[in-house]
Amino acid sequence: MMTKLSVNINKIATLRNARGGDYPNVVQVAKDVQAFGAHGVTIHPRPDERHIRYQDAYDLKSVVTTEYNIEGNPIKKFVDMVLAIKPTQVTLVPDSVDAITSNAGWDTIKHKDFLAEVISEFKRNNIRTSIFVDPILNQIDGAKKTGADRIELYTEEFAKQYTLGNIKAITSYAACAKKANELGIGVNAGHDLSLDNIKFFKQNVPHLAEVSIGHALIAEAIYKGLKPTVEEYLKLLK
């Protein structure tokens, strides 16, 4: 099964914002990565809009003709924006306002009622729902009970351990993916995935429907170019 690649373009917005202008242009980059073969575009607007802005999310709606995945903490402003745009998928991430980047998955047991309510609203609007989770089996059971269509496995720990040579860190991800599949939930993954670790992750985690990759992909593209980098991921995700 081919795993879909959704390119997270947050870092393009970071670069654009550094000069206060509109270059590089996130809409153009979204068009380009799709032309290079990416199966989707991911953005993760944060409340302080330090990279992707809410306005970008609206501007991207008409140009993302593949899968549009919007990630974020479902505060009211975020929920309203997602309901107005109606992307292919919304991924719920429990970010605190001041987090540098995502640093934890949901506690799907503790927050079951809240998540179930938000998810049902998105599903009523035909938006696929995914919940960002740590690779812990009872959190997958918890995700199922919220009604989510998919989980996104939070892969930072895998990436860190893989760099250190600790390949056993993959075990919990593989077990959670298997469990999710048994429960009828789709499996996505993301955070710190890269050209170094994606092949091993893909080979060892079953039922992997989609990965969203941004930070490493954009950094790798500085050396290789954006088109060859996207193409290399696509080869490794076959």
Ligand X SMILES: CC(=O)[C@@H](O)[C@H](O)COP(=O)(O)O
Residues flagged as binding site for 1-deoxy-D-xylulose 5-phosphate: 46, 51, 101
> From the centroid of its chain, how far is CA 109?
21
Non-local (6+) Cβ contacts of 191 within 8 A are: 101, 102, 154, 155, 156, 159
Count of residues that interact with ligand LD2JLWAY, criterion CB under 6 A = 14
Draw the binding track, 194-233, toward ligand X (x: CB under 6 A; -: no contact): --------------------x-------------------
Which run of H or of E encompasses 81? Answer: helix 76-85
Phi/psi of residue 105, nearest 5 degrees: -90, 175
Q: Annotated binding site, which residues?
A: 8, 19, 46, 51, 101, 192, 214-215
**Interacting partner of 213 out of ligand LD2JLWAY, ligand X, none (Cβ under 5 to 8 A depending on kind):** ligand LD2JLWAY
Beta bridge partners of 68: 41
Q: Which is nearer to ligand X, 46 or 202 (CB)?
A: 46
Smallest distance from the beta carbon of 210 to ligand LD2JLWAY, in angstroms?
Answer: 10
Residue 214 in the binding site for ligand LD2JLWAY (CB under 6 A): yes
Write the CA distances from 98 to 79, 94, 190, 218, integer angstroms: 19, 12, 20, 23
Q: Work out the angle between the directed axes of helices 137-146 and 170-183 (0-180°, nearest 10).
A: 30
Options 8, 34, 108, 130; binder of ligand LD2JLWAY; rule CB under 6 A: 8
Residue 64 in the binding site for ligand X (CB under 6 A): no
The dihedral formed by the CA atoms of 87, 89, 90 and 92, expressed in degrees to the nearest 10: -170
Residue 42 in the binding site for ligand LD2JLWAY (CB under 6 A): yes
Under rule CB under 6 A, which residues in 18-37 are in contact with ligand X? Answer: none
DSSP 90: E
Q: Which residues are catalytic?
A: 44, 71, 191
**Interacting partner of 216 out of ligand X, ligand LD2JLWAY, none (Cβ under 5 to 8 A depending on kind):** ligand LD2JLWAY
> From the centroid of its chain, how far is CA 173?
16
Non-local (6+) Cβ contacts of 40 within 8 A are: 4, 5, 6, 7, 64, 66, 67, 68, 69, 88, 210, 212
Q: Annotated binding site for 3-amino-2-oxopropyl phosphate, which residues?
A: 8, 19, 192, 214-215
Q: Which residues of the shown chain bind ligand X in the complex (CB under 6 A)? A: 8, 10, 44, 46, 71, 93, 101-102, 132, 190-191, 214
Name the site residues for ligand LD2JLWAY (rule: CB under 6 A): 8, 42, 44, 71, 152, 190-193, 212-216
